[in-house]
Structure 1
Amino acid sequence: MKTILEVNQLSVFHQESAHCLLKDIHFSLTKGQVLALVGASGSGKSLLAQSIFQLLPENLRQKGDVLYSGRQVNEQDRGTNIVLIPQSVAALDPLMKVGKQIEGLIQAGNPHQMMLDLLARLGLDADIATRYPFQLSGGQARRVLAMIALGSPANVVIADEPTPGLDQEAKNEMIALLKQVKQAGKAILLITHDFDVALQLADQVAVLEQGSIVEVADVEHFSGEGEKLTHPFTKALWQSLPQNLFKI
């Protein structure tokens, strides 16, 4: 299947100190594929999302290639070919009604009707469209963020920590929504520290340690005591999970 997003030898440095935060990152995604990027807090997961969107802070620089359909990603790709489901629901425009925000991303057919269809598809009442973000519950707001990804024409979705702070019911809802995104044929880079979420959604898992991807493994390899995993850090991470009796 044709590669839709490719990251080659991507590194991120501090401008002045040249201290390396991400080193030689490489992975690729095809349509309908989910790659989960897991690692400890501070390992560089969200920084990678900023790099793909070319939205790094001014004190950082990057080198390497980020390719969409074989060409370098540019500003026009953001929100059109590549869309972000951000960590915070604060990413919704507080001054615009929810329906208008969703319609603004739908570029074909009847945007208003498609927006209503998406609301129904995600189990949300039509009157949600008339509300402002502050009038939504946390679960409703997260579903709206996922709906924006579904309604967008983008072929690539980057979901940056979509489940932290959610109770189990809300987490299950978000997993179900992301499965719908996958079933719609979109490629997903799932950035998460939650192995349970990664294993339910991903085809492969990339493990990030101190700014480097140390292993990319099929999701089926995360079983038992991790006998099929190759890197010591990946094995230690897997064996330290609660369901694996916190082995170290």
Structure 2
Amino acid sequence: MDAKLEALEALEVTGLTVSFAIPRATVRAVTGASFSVRRGRCLALVGESGCGKSVLAHALLGLLPRNARVSGRALLDGRLDLLSASPAVLAGKVRGREIGLIPQSPATHLTPVRTARAQLEEALSELGSRLGAAELAERFGLAARDLDRYPHELSGGMAQRVANAIALAGDPGLLIADEPTSGLDRPLVERTMAVLRELCEEGRAVLVITHDLRAAARVADDIAVMYASRLVEVGPAAEILERPRHPYAAGLVAAQPDREFVAIPGMPPELTALPGGCAFAPRCRHASEACATLPAMTAGVSCHHPLREAAHAHGA
């Protein structure tokens, strides 16, 4: 990867906030998220289910319902603010062409009365791609006979792979993969992550949304940890996986099967009732009175009591 190309930010997000007005409450799904994804690199957005990861992805593509309130900025290649772009621009020029999306529930995104081949070929035609359906499908481990099946004849893993192929039909420079390994067994998880890594090596930017830290470690250059609508730690993947500084990030790492395999105690707060201070404080053994106020993001971590290497060495 050319160093000059890698330095280019394909996506720069600043202060992204998303809320939903519902009867008698407001859902604060994303709060003040700031991060960037560079060409030739992969950023993995990780966190427990329900923390706002998928909402963040859909906000970037203009796929939120009408009751969504969105603010902030999300610059694509330094020229187009995705959050203020019109629906026509997003639909006609961005989605599929400049940004490919691998959806979280692929089976619901496939037309039930058309074969996988027909849907992939339609995407290739609509986007003016010179790739062949069989060539693209093979990259994700689909055989020719799989393409001639209807969605109801596909396993969850096969449907996921079809969705992966469709996301690449327009040869986008930025790929957003929302739980791309959902429903896949471990060998196919490894294959999918390997393909995403190859896309980075080809010069694309990749944003992977996942709760699977093991999968994230396979592909990510950088990791952003999300908890209760906020990013709590952002940095190089190797540092966060080996020396996490936020107690929540440390808990996620420790909960992995190849680590301590111990779940974080307690439950995250409802997004309709977020506290004014640190949302993780009720689950954190390092919490103090200071945590009643919201900590700023400093040096990549938002915490009043960031963990240090000495603390890690003693099992903190």
- Alignment TM-score, normalising by the size of structure 2: 0.70
Q: 1:11 aligned to 2:17?
A: yes
Q: Is the 8 A contact 2:100 2:168 kept in 1?
A: no
Q: 1:233 and 1:130, CA in 2 relative to 1: closer, same or farther beyond 3 A?
A: closer
Q: 1:36 aligned to 2:44?
A: yes
**Structure 2 portions without partners, runs of 5+:** 1-6, 265-316
Q: What's the counterpart of residue 241 of structure 1?
A: 256
Q: Is the 8 A contact 1:6 1:67 kept in 2?
A: yes
Equivalent position to 2:245, from 230, 243, 247: 230
Q: What's the counterpart of residue 78 of structure 1?
A: 95
CA drift at 1:20:
2.8
Equivalent position to 1:133, from 146, 151, 175: 151
Q: 1:119 and 1:241, CA in 2 relative to 1: closer, same or farther beyond 3 A?
A: closer
Q: What's the counterpart of residue 188 of structure 2?
A: 170
Over the matched positions of the two proteins, sequence identity in percent amounts to: 37
Cα distance in structure 2, aligned partners of 1:20 and 1:85? 24
State which drifts further: 6-15 or 36-45. 6-15
- Structure number with higher relative contact order (C-alpha < 8 Å, ≥ 6 residues apart): 1
Q: What's the counterpart of residue 154 of structure 1?
A: 172
Q: Is the 8 A contact 1:142 1:174 kept in 2?
A: no
Equivalent position to 1:218, from 209, 224, 236: 236
Amino acid across the alignment from 2:81: Q
CA deviation digits over 1:165-203, x for unaligned, max 9? 332233223223323333333211111111101111100
- Aligned CA RMSD, in angstroms, stands at 2.2
Q: 1:99 aligned to 2:114?
A: no
Q: What's the counterpart of residue 29 of structure 2?
A: 21
Q: What's the counterpart of residue 88 of structure 1?
A: 105
Q: What's the counterpart of residue 213 of structure 2?
A: 195
Q: 1:195 and 1:122, CA in 2 relative to 1: closer, same or farther beyond 3 A?
A: closer
CA drift at 1:32:
2.1
The number of aligned residues is 243
**Structure 1 portions without partners, runs of 5+:** none
Q: 1:109 and 1:37, CA in 2 relative to 1: closer, same or farther beyond 3 A?
A: closer
Cα distance in structure 2, aligned partners of 1:180 and 1:142? 18
Amino acid across the alignment from 1:151: A
Cα distance in structure 1, aligned partners of 2:53 and 2:140? 28
- Alignment TM-score, normalising by the size of structure 1: 0.87
